Amino acid sequence: STANAPEDDAPNRYSRTERTVYGRYSRDANSSGSSLPSNALEKRIEELERELAKERQENARLMKMAQDKEELIGKLKEEIDLLNR
């Protein structure tokens, strides 16, 4: 169960940063008189958020694979030690 803890924390770890970044972009867009309409920016943000969610899922999957392989390596090392004795 502790192996899944880092993956469970991933959404919480980034949410504050995302809010900060989102706030910064929306302020910049409003203050600079951006040539893109606000709904186009909102659509782009939604698109990037979906892409970010996919990348996080892929990252979690790869982290799990790496962890599983590390556990297998540990078990195999123990087996080698037993066989050498």
Q: Quick one: pLDDT band at residue 32, thresholds 50, 70, 90?
A: low
Measured between alpha carbons, how far is 8 from 60 in angstroms, rounded to an integer? Answer: 9
CB of 76 closer than 8 Å to CB of 19: no
For the stretch 39-78, pLDDT in tens is 999 999 999 999 999 999 999 999 999 999 999 999 999 9
Alpha carbon separation from 55 to 24, 42, 73 (Å, rounded): 22, 20, 27
User: What pTM, to 2 d.p., does this model score?
Assistant: 0.51
Per-domain residue ranges of the chain? 37-84
Measured between alpha carbons, how far is 32 from 50 in angstroms, rounded to an integer? Answer: 26
